[in-house]
Amino acid sequence: MRALVSLAAIVPSGVLMGFGFPTGMRLVNAIDARPTPWFWAVNGAAGVLAAGTAVAISIAFSINVSLWVGATCYVLLAPIGIALVATSRDRARSLIAAETAEPARIGV
């Protein structure tokens, strides 16, 4: 029973926190695939830095403050996500338009 309660508490937040990076990578790759290795490196470094920072904030202030700082960081990512979605849609539309455009007729 304790395991089920733990899973019920952890799984929803894990899913919400876990879909951001793959979704962001998909959006970035729709715009330009060249920086993909760079984003993997930044994600790894940010994960290590965030873990150490969370421990330091928890020790210095409290676990509650650490949770609020983490939630604030996720909220601050929302405008970036919206911008990525808009940019990837624009890129997809321009690629579709370029593929379906009628070739220019020369000499007609």
Q: For 50-95, what is each residue's pLDDT tens digit?
A: 999 999 999 999 999 999 998 898 899 889 889 888 888 888 788 7
- So what's the pLDDT on residue 49? 94
Asked whether residue 76 is domain-assigned, the answer is yes
- So what's the pLDDT on residue 101? 65
Asked whether residue 9 is domain-assigned, the answer is no
Chain-centre distance for alpha carbon 58 = 25
Asked whether residue 50 is domain-assigned, the answer is yes
When comparing pLDDT for 72 and 98, which is higher? 72
Tally the domains of the chain. 1
Asked whether residue 88 is domain-assigned, the answer is yes
- Write down the mean pLDDT value for the chain: 86
Asked whether residue 58 is domain-assigned, the answer is yes
Q: Is the pLDDT of residue 104 over 70?
A: no
The residue range of the domain holding 75 is 38-97
Q: What is the 3-state secondary structure (H, E, C) of 53-98?
A: HHHHHHHHCCHHHHHHHHHHHHHHCHHHHHHHHHHHHHHHHHHHHH
pTM above 0.85, yes or no: no
- So what's the pLDDT on residue 32? 85
